[in-house]
């Protein structure tokens, strides 16, 4: 299995282009199931998860054309679900990626039936899909769970309903929203997720002929249509990738412009970072990051958007490992999302976990060590630790990184990092 080797201690300097958002792209690809016409997506990142979603859609009968190469970042993908040949999403594909659940809503909406394996994915807590199921049931689907599969049917089609989510769920909101675009009548989604990826999906659905009000708010009103049509859509930049690089620059005391990054997508992180001594400023092309003073420990709590994203928690914790003073990091979205802590401790970090909070006491330097990636964002945090540490760090199980960070080593190397992939 491939590994990444990093020789730490070099400040990052230069420019880093931000790729299209993985967590927007995956749902936008699934949205192609809602129409028999072509959905053309631009700025698609080249990632393992995107390939998994393409495989899954392919076996539902979607034809997919991809243009672009490494020389021209931001691929264009044309998806056409002229006829859906199969409504089953099998375990072998779904277990690789939780976001496979995104085919459930569109399949039931268009084909009035779906059989989707219960998902696997990142090992960060139990992560049920009960709220996706409850939302579709509200819209008239009959759902049973048999042999690890969700069997959904709505012989007369879905009908609009009021769906009140008891907690904020990103993919749950997206599944309900996609299903509602082809349901009979009006759907109201209350306590909807407000993440920029949800809004991006909604904008694309509107371009496909859907009627959606309240985009970007926690109340979405959708009037169902008989059919949707083709559209072209450009995917938003990846705010989690951008946030990860912000922390990397801060950790190495560098100075980098993140091309294409949008401040409004990571405002909560920028606010916390400003208190920690990291300046993030808008430029004509994106965001410039550098330290504004000494790194200081600050407290952080993860929350649904617009709060501090759970997908940046591990990276923030790594930054706090080398800040002056202490930092309390509280994870409220997922249980068991501190798997990076023992790995960071191997590099000399001083962290104590109490339930859903971690107390980080800053140390002057981390030290390179062999470490292991446990999930996607934890892997990102270990790369950051390696970039700032004294000596050499080798990161194994990097298939997690390949799921979500496009050309990571290349982007970091261009800014002066000593980082290489060891094939094995």
- The contact set with ligand UD1 (CB under 6 A) reads 23, 26, 98-99, 125, 127-132, 167, 169-172, 310-311, 333-334
When the beta carbons of 235 and 388 are compared against ligand UD1, the nearer one is 235
Nearest to 23 by CA among 102, 95, 94, 89: 102
When the beta carbons of 120 and 230 are compared against ligand UD1, the nearer one is 120
When the beta carbons of 241 and 257 are compared against ligand UD1, the nearer one is 241
Tokens linked to 377? 């964002």
13, 229, 318, 419 from 202: Cα distances, Å:
36, 14, 34, 38
Residue 125: CB minimum distance to ligand UD1, A: 6
Interhelix angle for 267-276 vs 313-320, to 10°?
A: 10
Count of beta carbons in the 10 Å neighbourhood of residue 225: 18
Residue 327: CB minimum distance to ligand UD1, A: 20
Residue 191: CB minimum distance to ligand UD1, A: 11
DSSP state of 101: G
Cα separation, 406 vs 61, in Å, equals 27
Q: How far is it between the farthest Cα atoms of the chain?
A: 64
The residues that bridge with 10 in the sheet, in sequence order, are none
Cα separation, 182 vs 106, in Å, equals 8
Radius of gyration of the chain (CA): 21
Q: Which of 111, 122, 270, 415 is catalytic?
A: 122
When the beta carbons of 12 and 34 are compared against ligand UD1, the nearer one is 34
Q: Where are the alpha helices (DSSP H) in 139-211?
A: 170-181, 196-207
Cα separation, 129 vs 120, in Å, equals 11
Cα separation, 370 vs 20, in Å, equals 31
Residue 82: CB minimum distance to ligand UD1, A: 26
Cα separation, 380 vs 372, in Å, equals 11
When the beta carbons of 26 and 57 are compared against ligand UD1, the nearer one is 26
When the beta carbons of 366 and 382 are compared against ligand UD1, the nearer one is 382
Residue 295: CB minimum distance to ligand UD1, A: 25
Which residue in this structure is represented by tokens 């309903």? 161
Residue 130: CB minimum distance to ligand UD1, A: 5
122 catalytic? Reply is: yes
Which residue in this structure is represented by tokens 């990102």? 380
What residues are annotated to the active site?
122
């Amino acid at each position: 299995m491939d590994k990444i080797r990093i020789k730490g201690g070099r400040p990052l300097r230069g420019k880093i282009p931000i790729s299209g958002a993985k967590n927007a792209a995956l749902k936008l690809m699934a949205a192609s199931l809602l129409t028999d016409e072509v959905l053309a997506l631009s700025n698609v990142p080249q990632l393992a998860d995107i390939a998994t979603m393409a495989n899954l859609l392919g076996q539902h009968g979607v034809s997919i054309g991809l243009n672009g190469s490494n020389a021209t970042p931001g691929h264009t993908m044309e998806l056409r679900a002229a006829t859906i040949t199969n409504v089953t999403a099998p375990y072998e594909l779904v277990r690789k990626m939780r976001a496979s659940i995104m085919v459930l809503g569109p399949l039931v909406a268009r084909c009035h039936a779906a059989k989707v394996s219960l998902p696997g994915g990142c090992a960060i807590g139990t992560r049920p899909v009960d709220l996706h199921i409850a939302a579709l049931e509200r819209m008239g689907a009959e759902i049973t769970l048999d042999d690890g599969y969700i069997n959904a049917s709505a012989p007369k089609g879905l009908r609009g309903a009021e769906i009140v989510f008891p907690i904020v769920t990103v993919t749950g909101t997206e599944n309900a929203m996609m299903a509602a675009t082809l349901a009979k009548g009006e759907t109201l989604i209350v306590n909807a997720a407000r993440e920029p990826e949800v809004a991006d999906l909604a904008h694309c659905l509107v371009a496909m002929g859907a009627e959606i009000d309240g985009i970007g708010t926690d109340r979405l009103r959708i009037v169902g249509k008989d059919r949707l049509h083709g559209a072209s859509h450009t995917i938003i930049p990846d705010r989690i990738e951008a946030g990860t690089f912000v922390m990397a620059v801060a950790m190495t005391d560098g100075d980098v412009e993140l091309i294409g990054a949008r401040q409004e997508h990571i405002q909560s992180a920028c606010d916390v970072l400003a208190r920690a001594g990291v300046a993030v400023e808008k430029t004509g092309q994106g965001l410039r990051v550098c330290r504004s003073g000494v790194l200081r420990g600050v407290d952080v709590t993860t929350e649904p958007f617009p709060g501090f994203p759970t997908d940046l928690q591990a990276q923030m914790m790594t930054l706090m490992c080398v800040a002056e003073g202490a930092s309390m990091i509280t994870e409220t979205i997922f249980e068991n999302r501190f798997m990076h802590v023992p790995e960071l401790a191997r590099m000399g970090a001083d962290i104590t976990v109490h339930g859903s909070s971690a107390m980080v006491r800053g140390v002057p330097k981390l030290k390179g060590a062999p470490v292991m990636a446990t999930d996607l964002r934890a892997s990102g945090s270990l790369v950051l630790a390696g970039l700032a540490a004294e000596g050499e760090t080798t990161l194994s199980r990097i298939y997690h990184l390949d799921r979500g960070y496009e050309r990571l080593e290349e982007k970091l190397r261009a800014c002066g990092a000593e980082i290489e992939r060891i094939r094995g």
